[in-house]
């Protein structure tokens, strides 16, 4: 089919939506000081003298996807992920918005990652999972995502960006029922290790320590916490400093575990009425709740914040009415895919899957473009996933 001549085509720029459709504020979002158009011609005479030791500082400040494109510049740039000094540079940069790692039902081995700052979906191939295994992302911390296979047996930890992964050793307790999972960092980054906790309804729990690469059973549930625990498994756990918080359905409230002291605590917090599909979330140490409020036929997404003094939920924000109208009269399910400062909510009715993000600090609701697998045409249904902080140097 080729004609006599063959040509070369090179991609100059990735897809950019037409600028006129975005407000100025949106266009400048994410732009940093000194932002210049990407196509500015750089004078080689000047820049060829750029000192070697400053490259790492510049590269660490590139957008994540750009970093991966530039790995083909030269071998040195390719090997930066293994460089200690590059790690230090990356650690110095303030953390950007989290990305979201989600599972699409069409192909479990191809993750769908959403970058909210460029509003783009990326599809890395997750190569470490055995074929046909379905593993769901259940927790994340410091750039690493913890996967649990559907049979609730094996844990995997992986950095979705670099594919650095580890299969955790088998647990000492055989648990066949659903477990809730939480993950914390020992220090400020994964270099100092991380811990993973799973807890089951019967009060059994174990903690994995990445430094020792083993599971341990630090103790048992205190007697004041009534068993069986009715954990709300649809909600992900949140971690604030070294404490994990899990949502409980009965009694309504939160159960917390401090990884350092090994202490379990229970908080009874009445849930708002007409609430469904609720999940715990957090932002800068504030505990929040995201859920659907359904009254008569109207459904709305609401955000509550926990008042620590009174242990009551106080409503702090709601999804704009216009968006809520889309679901009027329809039966809606919601899952919260990311619960650290920037939440991704997947709202599903019979024929529709609407994805939105909510930024707690700026109180902004934004629509998420549909996820289409490469070489596919259909928009994927997104129901399960977790937020993670994109970190080039996190290793499992």
3-state secondary structure of 56: helix
Q: Which is nearer to another protein, 15 or 176 (CB)?
A: 15
Nearest CA-CA partner of 100 in 395, 393, 382? 382
Q: Is 35 in the site for another protein (CB under 8 A)?
A: yes
> Binding residues for another protein, how many (CB under 8 A)?
67
Q: For residue 300, give every residue at least 6 positions away whose Cβ sits within 8 Å of its Cβ, in sequence order, or none.
A: 292, 293, 294, 318, 319, 321, 324
For residues 121-160, which are near another protein according to CB under 8 A?
121-125
Q: Which is nearer to another protein, 137 or 182 (CB)?
A: 137
Minimum CB–partner distance for residue 32 and another protein (Å): 5
Neighbours of 134 (CB within 10 A): 12
What φ, ψ does residue 80 adopt, rounded to 5°? -65, -30
Minimum CB–partner distance for residue 64 and another protein (Å): 8
Lookup: tokens for 31: 């732009």
Q: Is 176 in the site for another protein (CB under 8 A)?
A: no
Task: Give the binding range for another protein (CB under 8 A) out of 12-20, 176-184, 228-236, 331-339.
Answer: 12-20
Q: Which is nearer to another protein, 110 or 383 (CB)?
A: 110
Minimum CB–partner distance for residue 80 and another protein (Å): 12
Q: Which is nearer to another protein, 20 or 321 (CB)?
A: 20
For residues 324-383, which are near another protein according to CB under 8 A?
369, 372, 374-375
Q: Which is nearer to another protein, 207 or 344 (CB)?
A: 344
Minimum CB–partner distance for residue 199 and another protein (Å): 34
Minimum CB–partner distance for residue 35 and another protein (Å): 5
Separation between Cα atoms, residue 81 and residue 186, nearest integer Å: 22
For residues 41-60, which are near another protein according to CB under 8 A?
42-44, 46-51, 53-55, 57-59
Q: Is the dihedral of CA 224, 228, 230, 233 positive or negative?
A: positive
Q: Is 284 in the site for another protein (CB under 8 A)?
A: no
Separation between Cα atoms, residue 324 and residue 318, nearest integer Å: 9
Minimum CB–partner distance for residue 106 and another protein (Å): 14
Q: Which is nearer to another protein, 6 or 84 (CB)?
A: 6
Q: Which is nearer to another protein, 64 or 366 (CB)?
A: 64
For residues 66-105, which are near another protein according to CB under 8 A?
66-75, 78, 92
- Run of H or E residues at 84: helix 84-92
Q: Is 321 in the site for another protein (CB under 8 A)?
A: no
Minimum CB–partner distance for residue 259 and another protein (Å): 32
Q: Is 8 in the site for another protein (CB under 8 A)?
A: yes
Name the β-bridge partners of 260: none
Separation between Cα atoms, residue 146 and residue 150, nearest integer Å: 13
Taking the mean position of all CA atoms in its chain, how far away is CA 319?
A: 21
Q: Which is nearer to another protein, 19 or 37 (CB)?
A: 37
Angle at alpha carbon of residue 206, lines to 247 and 141, rounded to 5°: 60
Contact 299, 333 (CB under 8 A): no
Neighbours of 242 (CB within 10 A): 14
Lookup: tokens for 264: 């379990």
Separation between Cα atoms, residue 145 and residue 164, nearest integer Å: 11
Residues contributing to the site for another protein (CB under 8 A): 1-15, 31-40, 42-44, 46-51, 53-55, 57-59, 61-75, 78, 92, 120-125, 369, 372, 374-375
């Amino acid at each position: 089919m080729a004609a006599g001549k063959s040509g070369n085509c090179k991609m100059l720029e990735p897809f950019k939506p037409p600028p006129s459709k975005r407000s100025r504020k949106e266009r400048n979002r994410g732009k940093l000081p000194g932002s210049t158009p990407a196509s500015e011609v750089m004078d080689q005479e000047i820049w060829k003298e750029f000192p070697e030791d400053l490259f790492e500082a510049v590269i660490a400040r590139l957008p994540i996807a750009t970093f991966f494109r530039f790995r083909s510049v030269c071998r040195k740039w390719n090997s930066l992920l293994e460089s200690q000094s590059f790690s230090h540079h990356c650690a110095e940069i303030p953390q950007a918005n989290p990305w979201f790692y989600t599972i699409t039902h069409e192909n479990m081995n191809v993750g769908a990652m959403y970058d909210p700052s460029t509003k783009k979906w990326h599809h890395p191939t997750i190569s470490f999972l055995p074929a046909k295994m379905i593993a769901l992302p259940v927790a994340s911390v410091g750039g690493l995502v913890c996967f649990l296979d559907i049979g609730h047996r094996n844990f995997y930890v992986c950095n979705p960006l670099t594919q650095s992964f580890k299969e955790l050793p088998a647990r000492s307790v055989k648990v066949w029922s659903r477990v809730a999972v939480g993950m914390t960092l020992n220090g400020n980054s994964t270099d100092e290790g991380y811990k993973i906790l799973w807890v089951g309804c019967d009060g059994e729990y174990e903690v994995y320590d990445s430094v020792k690469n083993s599971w341990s059973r630090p103790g048992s549930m205190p007697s004041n916490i009534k068993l069986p625990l009715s954990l709300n498994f649809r909600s992900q756990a949140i971690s604030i400093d070294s404490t994990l918080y899990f949502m409980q359905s009965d009694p309504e409230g939160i159960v917390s575990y401090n990884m350092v002291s090994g202490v379990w605590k229970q908080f009874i917090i009445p849930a708002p009425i007409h609430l469904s599909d609720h999940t715990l979330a957090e932002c800068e140490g504030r505990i929040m709740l995201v859920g659907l409020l359904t009254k008569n036929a109207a459904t709305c997404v609401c955000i509550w914040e926990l008042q620590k003094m009174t242990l009551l939920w106080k409503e702090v924000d709601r999804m704009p009415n216009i968006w809520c109208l889309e679901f009027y009269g329809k039966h809606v399910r919601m899952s919260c895919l990311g619960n650290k400062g920037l939440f991704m909510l997947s709202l599903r009715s019979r024929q529709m899957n609407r994805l939105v993000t909510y930024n707690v600090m700026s109180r902004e609701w934004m629509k998420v473009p549909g996820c289409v697998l490469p070489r596919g045409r259909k928009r994927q249904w997104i129901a399960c996933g977790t937020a993670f902080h994109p970190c080039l140097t996190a290793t499992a």
